[in-house]
Amino acid sequence: MNAHELALTANSIRQDVIKALVEAKSGHSAGPLGLADVVTALYFEIADIDPKYPWKETRDRIVLSCGHYCPVLYSALAHRGYFPVSELLTLRKLNSRLQGHPHLRCVPGVENTGGPLGQGVSLALGMALALKLKGNPAYVFCLSSDGEQQEGEVWEAYNMAAKYKVDNLTYIVDYNHIQIDGPIEEVMPLEPLVDKYRAFNLNVMETDGNNMAEVVKTLRKAKEHKGTPTMIVAHTTPGKGVSFMEKDYRWHGKPPNVEEAARALQELEAAREKI
């Protein structure tokens, strides 16, 4: 897909995130909307995956460390053909495969159980190192939130990844500056974040996480890099595409009501015409 087609796909994914959340009456809005462009680029352009063979040994792995972002993961998988798009409306429902935090193989394409923040960063390292030791050419991408960077576990993982030169691994941090209790800068500041990653000997790249062409270019460069693991700091707007959600931490962990969802979908559809 070209950047225009990918942007249209990201818009569709955002709309289905809203539809799933309003139907569920619970869930997280801001993060999934903000990261939709990165997720779309991974699943539709960068990662070597095939929904017809979801567990092929040589497939690339995409680990979602921030499990509460799962509405965008589920939406991307459905649009990619892993399961019916109509199933998205079962989000968080009793007996649904699509729970509020994903669990391993709940649907084809889900590579890890998400919930305890930070653990996916270590899990992705273990996957990538095991693949490398086995001579498996598969690549691992790990999506994580900026709030997770406040935890010690992730820094231990980065240290080990650099030591063992795990270059079949790219971490992507959604740097949207919000968490459930407020702005990152007020809860627990992370700056100078890029300098910290460089100090841990990671190949650090930054990108506008809501500019599709730039996202694709950055991800391609990361996958081609050899010798060290890569860290992409994706600067995103939480709630991207929905004016009353953008940059408002209060939307971190709540869904829209019926009226808000209608307004959000209207805005996203209007934006679609301008892509």
CA 107 to each of CA 87, 98, 157, 217: distance values in angstroms, whole numbers, following the listed order: 11, 8, 27, 29
- H-helix or E-strand spanning residue 182: strand 182-183
DSSP letter, residue 226: -
120 phi and psi angles, rounded to 5 deg:
-65, -30
- Give the 3-state secondary structure of residue 63: strand
208 phi and psi angles, rounded to 5 deg:
-80, 105
Q: Is the pLDDT of residue 115 over 90?
A: no
* Residue 185 exposed, middle or buried by CB count within 10 Å (0-12, 13-18, 19+): exposed
Residue 187: what pLDDT? 97
Bridge partners, 205 (sequence order): 232
What mean pLDDT is predicted for residues 207-225?
98
pLDDT per residue over 149-204, tens digit each? 999 999 999 999 999 999 999 999 999 999 999 999 999 999 999 999 999 999 99
Q: Which one, of 218, 209, 225, 116, lies nearest residue 162 by Cα?
A: 225
DSSP letter, residue 234: E
Using alpha carbons only, what angle is made at residue 217 by residues 166 and 148, rounded to the nearest 5 degrees? Answer: 50
Q: Which one, of 249, 235, 244, lies nearest residue 267 by Cα?
A: 244
Contact 121, 144 (CB under 8 A): yes
Q: What is the pTM of this model?
A: 0.98
Residue 110: what pLDDT? 98
Owner of token pair 């993961």: 73
Parallel, antiparallel or unpaired: strands 178-179 and 182-183: antiparallel
Contact 223, 150 (CB under 8 A): no
Q: Which one, of 203, 201, 113, lies nearest residue 160 by Cα?
A: 201
pLDDT per residue over 21-54, tens digit each? 999 999 999 999 999 999 999 999 999 999 999 9
| Domains of the chain and CATH, by start | 3-272 (3.40.50.970)
Residue 87: what pLDDT? 98
Contact 209, 37 (CB under 8 A): yes
